[in-house]
Chain A
Amino acid sequence: MAADRTLGGRNAGDPILEVRGLVKHFHIGGGFPFGRQAAVIRAVDDVSFDLRRGETLGLVGESGCGKSTVARTLLRLEEPTAGQALFHGRDIFTAGERELKEIRRRIQVIFQDPYASLNPRLRVEQIVSEPWVIHPDVLPRRDWPDRVRELLESVGLRREHAERYPHEFSGGQRQRIGIARAMALNPEILVCDEPVSALDVSVQAQVVNLLEEIQQRFGIAYIFIAHDLSVVRHMSHRVAVMYLGRIVELGAKEQVYARPRHPYTKALLSAQPAIDFSGERKNQRIILKGEVPSPANPPSGCRFRSRCWKAQATCAGTPPPLAEGPDSGHRAACYFPEGAAARV
């Protein structure tokens, strides 16, 4: 059944994750003590957002925008440089080892590459039951074989597949195994890092539908990271658009897609190839000049100004804050957002 994806419907809830001021800088080079200038990659610079119970927050952007880094820091696969991530009030970033393990039970992840995310030497049964090996208090050992097979069936595989090895499966099936593994601990949040980008077009829909169904049944919140705007539009309730380490627009899906306020969002939507026989999109096509600047050396102020057709002197000064416009809950980081009188 298709989910009713309106904001304010029964899928909206209280925020269970509050990210405030997340910063992640990578320092490279500068190993020698003889004064070689180290480069700093400002992968994520001051990102803040909420994730509400049972909703899908889509995180879109192109390569280098930092969306995967945001995911990795939330999972503490990388240590953040600064910021807070409050999960039910507890800060993920300062949690000690034991507390972190507790938190990791409730925040799970599925990765982009279905071929690399499963250990090729382990049978599916061992892969799916690994969460219980790490958290033995969740399920008594004698129940593992049954529960593994239940999970496999719930993601659309067969019970017998538990004895197979990953290389015997197709990409879409492997992704399902990954989903089964993530579901083994009944998490509250599932971080989906480009889960369908590496799959064939006809298989993507299978996995997308599966994720939707799981959300409906279990009320899990998703952070859905992708670069394909159509898939994000389908899956998400709210969407955040990232560019070069910052969120440039944040709002409900309909708001962002139908009435984008940030120039980059507008350009992104217009560049996405789509089936449109009216010719309207072709007329309004925006082709951005140049390429994404290097995250080691981003433009001052608004980072998009080097490619923005509206850029003015103000844009090079203080970076524009993520501010609300006429629509409640729809924010854009621009001094001259679309469809509004210029703010100063």
Chain B
Amino acid sequence: MVQTPQVTAEQEAVAIRRGLPWWRLLLRDPLALMAALWLALLCVCVMVGPELFGKEATTLNLRARNLPPGSTEQGWLMILGSDALGRSMLARLIVATRNTISIALTSVLLAMIIGGFLGLIAGYIGRGVGNLIMRLSDIVQSFPSLLLAVVVLYMLEPRVGNLVIVLAITRIPSYLRVTRAEVLEIRERVFVDASRALGGSRTHILVRHIAPVVAPTLLTILTVDFAIVMLAESGLSFLGIGIQPPEITWGLMVAQGRNYLSQAWWLAFFPGLAIMFATLSANILSNWLRIVTDPVQRWRLEAPKVGNA
């Protein structure tokens, strides 16, 4: 038996620190809380927006044309102004949320999953397969992404599905490179050796040890890519090969409002603001998530805030 004094002393050694549940941590961080709430609001808009405000977003109302923000005579919906056809900006923004978010989110998720997967393979297995994957990625990356999108969408129809795929393809290389770089570093770590020595197969190590360490980084890239994709989509829509009216996205609204910046600045401003807030929230929340899911860093959020000694 192990000597008793040893066990007794061990009892003081590890501090009994109960971890806080994640929602408590969220409540303690006002910035992350606001970001989460904003994103929750966007989710609501995605789910019920077009059903609730669809009519107001499409009905023409020539008496309410080009109203600047703050005008409430025609109803509270015109609080953000209206466009040349009298449609409420607010309503259009809400309705556009669904398309915007779903296109952007689907593209970046697709890119992350495919890029991450290929990066894991390239990094861990390496050699021939890895080289092939990296060269393919280099080829994709060497095309200007907009040009690639234009070419592809011109040849195929500019349907939402194709749009998503094209956007995803242009984003894959960044996930791939980062994943591969991280995998190259992690696979040299001792705990990976330990798993191999236990008899762990490559799949086991990739899934259990390597992917969880790589995931947070990919998540961070995802939130940054979110904005990039939204703006790319707006560029394509502006060129007429992205979203086709009457479908609407924030990007398309920005594109459409560009020409009226001096007369009706609110046409492009508010959609742009919406894009900014969405990506900012996603960024803040992903930073917070990264810390929460890392057991080593989590204490930063859990410890009571003390003033300077």
| Chains A and B directly touch (beta carbon < 8 Å) | yes
CB closest chain-B residue, reference A71: B197
**Known contacts A101-B199, A111-B190, A134-B198: does B209 contact A119 (CB below 8 Å)?**
yes
Count residues of chain A with CB under 8 A from any CB of chain B: 42
Asked if A167 and B14 sit within 8 Å, CB to CB, the answer is no
In this complex, the interface size class of chain B, counting residues with CB under 8 Å from chain A, is: 20 to 34
8 Å CB contact of A156 from B7, B193, B296: B7
What residues of B have a CB within 8 angstroms of the CB of A185 in the complex?
A: 198
Interface contact A117-B198, CB-CB below 8 Å: no
Contact of B13 among A108, A134, A170, A181 (CB under 8 A): A170
Name the segment of A14-22, A157-165, A331-339 touching the other chain: A157-165
Residues of A within 8 A of B159 (CB): none
Q: Is B212 an interface residue (CB 8 A)?
A: yes
Do B294 and A77 touch across chains, with their CB atoms under 8 A apart? Answer: no
Within 8 Å of chain B (Cβ to Cβ): is A109? yes
Question: Do the beta carbons of A157 and B193 come within 8 Å of each other?
Answer: no
Minimum Cβ distance to chain B for residue A156 (Å): 5
Q: Which of A108, A154, A168 has the most CB of B within 10 A?
A: A168
Rounded to whole Å, the gap between the CB of A79 and the closest CB of chain B is 12
A173 to chain B: which residues have CB within 8 Å? 10, 13-14
A108 near B191: Cβ-Cβ < 8 Å: no
Q: A134, B296: Cβ atoms under 8 Å?
A: no
Per-position 1/0 for A158-195, Cβ under 8 A of B: 10110011011110010000100100010000000000
Q: Please state if A156 and B199 are interface contacts (CB–CB under 8 Å).
A: no
Residues of chain A within 8 A (CB-CB) of B295 are 120-121, 123, 165, 167
Judged by a CB distance under 8 angstroms, whether A104 is at the interface is yes
A306 and B300 CA atoms in complex are apart in Å by 55
Residue A285 CB within 8 A of the other chain: no
- CB–CB A164/B14 < 8 A: yes
Interface string of A204-221 (1 = CB under 8 A from B): 001000100100000000
Question: With the chains together, A155 CA to B197 CA distance in Å?
Answer: 21
Q: Distance (Å) between the CB of A237 and the closest chain B CB?
A: 23
B14 near A104 with CB under 8 A, answer no
B190 and A109 contact, CB distance less than 8 A: no
For B263, list chain A residues within 8 Å (CB).
none
Q: In the complex, A121 Cα to B200 Cα: how many Å? A: 18
**Is B308 an interface residue, CB under 8 A from the partner?**
no
Q: Does A131 contact B (CB under 8 A)?
A: yes
Contact partners of A178 in chain B: CB under 8 A: 194
Contact at A111–B6, with CB atoms within 8 Å? no
Known contacts A111-B193, A134-B200; A120 and B10 CB within 8 A of each other: no
Chain A 41-73: CB-based contact to B (< 8 A → 1; otherwise 0):
000000000000000000000000000000000
Q: Which residue of B lies closest to A206 (CB)?
A: B6
A100: interface (CB < 8 Å): yes
Tell yes or no: B127 within 8 A of A by CB: no
Residues of B within 8 A of A158 (CB): 7, 10-11, 14
Top 4 A-B pairs, shortest CB-CB distance: A104-B199, A116-B190, A165-B295, A101-B199
25 contacts between A and B (CB under 8 A): A75-B196, A100-B199, A104-B198, A113-B190, A116-B189, A116-B191, A117-B193, A118-B194, A119-B209, A121-B212, A121-B296, A130-B195, A130-B198, A131-B198, A134-B195, A135-B198, A156-B2, A158-B7, A158-B10, A168-B15, A168-B17, A170-B13, A173-B10, A181-B194, A213-B2
